[in-house]
Amino acid sequence: MKIGIIGTRGIPNLYGGFEECAQHLGRHLVSMGHQVFVYSSHRHPYEQKQFEGIEIIHKYDPEHRFGTFGQFIYDLNCIIDSRKRDFEAIILLGYTSSSIWQRLLPSKSLILNNMDGLEWRRSKYKPRVQKFLKYAEAWAAKRSDILIADSKVIQEYLEAQYPTDTVFIPYGAQPFKKGDPSILESYGLEAGKYNLLVARLEPENNIEIILNGVVHSERQDIMLVVGNHDTPYGEYLKSKFKDARIRFVRGTYKKEKINNLRFYARLYFHGHSVGGTNPSLLEAMACGCSIVAHRNRFNYEVLGENAYYFNDPVDVANHIDHQEERSVHLERQQKNRHKIEERYNWQLIAEEYEITLQQGLIRKKT
C-alpha cells in the first residue's frame, strides 16, 4: 500500500504529538511492507529524503514569515503535491489548517483523518476562531472517508455529530524503565525531591490552578514547569507566581532529557482538559510517574483509578502535602506501564491503522 501522511511539521519529531505519531506509525507500517511518505516543512533541520525507511517530502512552509496563516499555505502545498503521487491512502493528522483545502485531495485516495481533540473548545482561541474551528471540524468530517478518534470520548462525540465512519485508535508511547540521574544536575534537581508539569502554557491546561495549589502547599519541593513560557500567557504566569519553589524552563523535545525528568519526579501534574488520548500523558505513564491529573472524562478514560485527580488548588495542595504509602504508588505505576505495553503500543496501533486502511479501500472500491 502506498500511503501519504499530511499534517505534521516533519520527522524526526522535534515538535509534538502528531509528529511523534507520524514517526512511529510510519516506521511500523514500513516494517509491515507498505510504502510510506511523510510531508515535512522545508525548514525542518533534517534534510535527508529518508528516515527509518520512510520517504520524506519537503514542501515550502512560510509559517516563520506569516504565523498561523503560513500553516494554511504549507498544508495547501502538501495537498497539491499529493495529487501527483498516486497514494492509495492519505492519513491527515488534524484538520485545523487543512480542512479548507481538503476538497483538493485526490479523489481516488482513501482519506483517513485523525481528528485530535475538540479544538473549537480551547479557551486560548477567540470566539471568532472557535467558530471557524467548529466549521473546519465539520468540513473535515464531511470530506473524509474515515475519521480516527484517539479516545472513546471523542469517538462518541464524532459519531453523534457526523455520519462518517469513525474508528477508535489511540496514540502510543514507548516504555522508559532505566533513568540517568546525571541529567538532573543541569536542572539543579535531586531525584524524588521535585514535582513536574510538562505542557504548552495555555489556559485549558489548568496550569494556573496547579500553581495556585503549589503556592498554598506546605512542602518545599520544587515545581518544575516545562514549556514555552515566552508567550503572553506564559509571561502572565511568570509575573503572577514569584514563589521560589516554581521554576519555569523552556520545553525540550530531546526524549533523553524529558523522560529522565519524568522518571525521577515525585509527582507529575497533568492538567490537560480539552483533547483525547494526550501523548504527554502516555509518556508520563511509560516513565512510571505518580500522576496527578485534572478530573475529566479524557484523563479518566486513560488512567482510570491509577492516578490522583484534582479540580481546584485545594486538591493540588493536598496531593503535594499528603501522599499514600509507597506500595500504592508502585502498584499504580506498574498498572500504567502495563497499559502502555498492552494497549498504547505503537506496533498494535500500526496494525489497527493497517486494518482500517485495508477495510476502507475495500469499501471504496465497491
User: Which residues, in sequence order, are bridge partners of residue 292?
Assistant: 269, 308
SS3 158: helix
d(CA 354, CA 11): 20
Q: Which among 249, 245, 263, 262 has a CA at the least distance from the CA of 321?
A: 245
* CA angle at 177 for the pair 280 and 172, rounded to the nearest 5°: 35
Q: Is the CB of residue 201 less than 8 Å from the CB of residue 207? A: yes
| pLDDT at residue 280, as a whole number | 93
d(CA 13, CA 298): 24
Domain 2-172+345-365: top CATH class: alpha beta
Exposed (0-12), middle (13-18) or buried (19+): which is 47, by Cβ within 10 Å? exposed
| pLDDT at residue 15, as a whole number | 85
d(CA 288, CA 264): 9
For residue 94, the one-letter residue type is G
What are phi and psi for residue 106, nearest 5 degrees? -60, 130
- 181-342: CATH homologous superfamily? Glycogen Phosphorylase B; (3.40.50.2000)
| pLDDT at residue 346, as a whole number | 97
Tens-digit pLDDT profile for residues 108-148: 999 999 998 777 777 777 889 889 889 999 999 999 999 99
d(CA 62, CA 66): 6
What residue spans define the domains of the chain? 2-172+345-365, 181-342
What is the DSSP secondary structure assignment for residue 60, as one 8-state letter? -
| pLDDT at residue 252, as a whole number | 79
Length of the chain counted residue by residue: 366
Fold: same for 2-172+345-365 and 181-342: yes
| pLDDT at residue 197, as a whole number | 97
Q: What is the mean pLDDT of each run of 10 residues along the chain (366 residues)?
A: 97 91 97 98 96 98 90 96 97 91 95 86 81 91 96 94 96 93 94 95 93 97 94 94 95 87 97 86 96 96 96 98 86 95 96 98 90
pTM for the structure as a whole: 0.93
For residue 261, the one-letter residue type is L
